[in-house]
Amino acid sequence: MNSSAGKYRDSLLIVDDDYATRLLIKVILRGTGITVIEAGTGAEAIELFRRHREEIFLVLLDIILPVYDGWTILEEFRKVCPQIPVVVISGILPMELRERWPEAGLPGFISKPFNVGEMKEIIGTYHNAGQNIQ
């Protein structure tokens, strides 16, 4: 159990401006017991993360977004919950991401198009550890 929240974290936040990507992830996770919270914009992501931070065990973040880029969103998430795992999802791995990866503390990258098995394995790993986030 998560001592700070008093319950197990069972929600995943997907931040991607592409509706089809968010829908695909929801379909992949159907029947797993994971609650999927979706954000199509950076502002929506920040607001949803603040509201649901005690429930979220993992964030899947498209780093290339309009208006708020992924780095800005990541900084806001870290202010609220510094240890929340954030896995980048993207069709490309830009040089900027490669250069900033170590300092950003990003634990992983899932490339688009998704390998369903890989995605389930990564999400499952964090879901099982979700109660340890303070």
Task: Express each pLDDT in 22-31 by its tens digit.
Answer: 999 999 999 8
Q: Can you give the residue ranges of every domain in the chain?
A: 11-132
Of the pLDDT bands very low, low, confident and very high (cuts 50, 70, 90), residue 16 is: very high
Query: Contact 11/130 with Cβ under 8 angstroms?
Result: no
Strands (E), 31-82: 35-39, 56-61
Q: Considering the domain 11-132 in this protein, what is its CATH number? A: 3.40.50.2300
Instruction: Choose between 13 and 107: higher pLDDT.
Output: 13
Flag whether pLDDT at 2 surpasses 60: no
Dump pLDDT digits (tens) for 63-121.
888 888 888 899 999 999 998 999 988 877 666 666 666 566 676 778 788 888 888 88
